[in-house]
Amino acid sequence: MVKLCKFPVDLVIEARWLATVAADQAVLENHAVVVQAGVIIDLLPIAEARQKYTASSLVCLENHILIPGLINCHTHAAMSLMRGLADDIALMPWLEQHIWPAEQAVVSAPYVQDASLLACAEMLSGGITCFNDMYFYPQATAAAVTQAGMRANLGLLVMDFASAYANDADDYLQKGFDAHDTWRSNPLISSSIAPHAPYTASNQTLQKVITYAEQLGLGIHTHLHETQDEIVKSEVQYALRPIQRLAELGLLGPSFVAAHGVHLLENEIQLLADYGCHIAHCPSSNLKLASGIAPVTQLLATGVNVALGTDGAASNNRLDIFAEMRLAALLAKGTTGDASVVPAKQALAMATINGAKALGLDDKIGSIELAKYADLVAVRLDDIATAPYYDPISHLVYSCGREHVTHTWVAGDLRYSHGVYANIEPNELKEIINLWQVKLSQLKVEQHKK
């Protein structure tokens, strides 16, 4: 008998089920993922993997489903510390009377770094390995992302209004590019240019955005058609609906990610499809701020790529893509009257590969396939809330919550497992929470007195 030599590898994960989210939507049973230098190098039955490989780290997931890391395609991580600061209030008074004053009072680089670290912790524990962010001080967010060891596409925020962060559009752009330069060699962080919204950026500013995005090869991330109000105002100011204005300016294209897209006419949905744009659907936030319900079924049917986002914790109030998956699937059924639309597999695709496509990262992440990064999440299915089982993907979307996540890997590194983070200390989070809670509570009391 010939003794076969086994290949030494960094990591082998053996899973009862494995949702590839590849083009064929295969769900494999009793398969192993083999990881070397952060990349998936093999995907094969467990028995064969045991013959072929010897792993520095072997993880056996007997009652779990392994899924690609979830992608939160629209958030403001640094709003985590404003979770629950103001609820049950409509978007404009919520922004004008609560969120903007709070931001004016506290937002600084240290605030953004602290709040982003809390958000990273919440997201990693809920199986999110990558997020698409837009906020002030992106460099401070990058510091938190780097500490947490997760992946992010950070928006280089641009608007025409001064803030503690920047004075005007040029200043925002310059600060954004300076930040971008600091993480150019970081494989976990990428950038988009992020004009806040059509209603906070002039045509001149948006033209600069296009020029720079083309020069630097960056995508564009913005809020679009979140409320009827912004559409009406645009019609008054520009005699155009925002999406038409952006189309005429030349912003739309396959690197354009629009958060929300709640209020869209049929021809606008076609326009998004024709340009290859992406929608980051944020169903919880859209409901909570009473913005409405995005026409996800029509968007998908027309060929628009739809990903999922949580929006910020102040308007959700969870950074929880499990909740968004379930809600996106349920809402699509309830609003169309067709229970077969956005089935569980599609909801999972929206939370993974569609997010990767939106960020231009679908050659690297978003599915469990050879040569992609090992951004992986283990979800236990042996809870009484997920028993019995007939279809693991159905359970994942309709029965599971983020509390069923047991392991989160980013590029093959275990970043979270069973309540413990690789690089974040519980006491560090406690201190952050206590520090800013006091400051923001004080602010709330003062506002109440006014």
- Under rule CB under 8 A, which residues in 249-288 are in contact with a second copy? 284, 286-288
CB nearer to a second copy: give 157 or 397.
397
Q: Would you count residue 300 as binding a second copy (CB under 8 A)?
A: no
CB contact at 8 A, 192 and 132: yes
CB of 433 to a second copy, least distance (A): 5
Name residue 401's amino acid. Answer: G
How far is the CA of 408 from the CAs of 54, 75, 260, in angstroms? Answer: 22, 19, 27
Q: Would you count residue 401 as binding a second copy (CB under 8 A)?
A: yes
Nearest to 329 by CA among 311, 353, 347: 347
Residue choice 384, 418, 448, 449 for contact with a second copy (CB under 8 A): 384
CB of 127 to a second copy, least distance (A): 13
Strand partners, 155: 134, 192
Residue choice 330, 422, 423, 428 for contact with a second copy (CB under 8 A): 330
Residue choice 125, 141, 244, 408 for contact with a second copy (CB under 8 A): 125
- The percent helix, strand, coil of the chain (3-state, each to 5) is 45, 25, 30
Residue choice 14, 103, 122, 324 for contact with a second copy (CB under 8 A): 122
Nearby residues of 253 by Cβ (< 8 Å), 6 or more positions away = 220, 275, 276, 277
DSSP β-ladder status, 128-135 and 219-224:
unpaired
Q: Would you count residue 416 as binding a second copy (CB under 8 A)?
A: no
Nearby residues of 117 by Cβ (< 8 Å), 6 or more positions away = 144, 147, 148, 424, 428, 429, 432
Residue choice 108, 343, 428, 447 for contact with a second copy (CB under 8 A): 343
- Under rule CB under 8 A, which residues in 429-448 are in contact with a second copy? 429, 433-434, 436-437, 440-441, 444
CB nearer to a second copy: give 105 or 433.
433
CB nearer to a second copy: give 81 or 193.
81
Two tokens, residue 369: 């396939």
Q: Would you count residue 398 as binding a second copy (CB under 8 A)?
A: yes
CB contact at 8 A, 128 and 175: no
Q: Which residue has the tokens 């679009």?
A: 224
- Phi, psi angle pair for 293, to nearest 5°: -125, 120
Number of chain positions touching a second copy (CB under 8 A): 66
Q: Would you count residue 113 as binding a second copy (CB under 8 A)?
A: no
Q: Would you count residue 216 as binding a second copy (CB under 8 A)?
A: no
Interacting residues with a second copy (CB under 8 A): 81, 83-85, 87-91, 94, 118, 121-122, 125-126, 284, 286-293, 316-320, 327, 329-331, 333-340, 343-344, 384-391, 394-395, 398-399, 401-403, 429, 433-434, 436-437, 440-441, 444
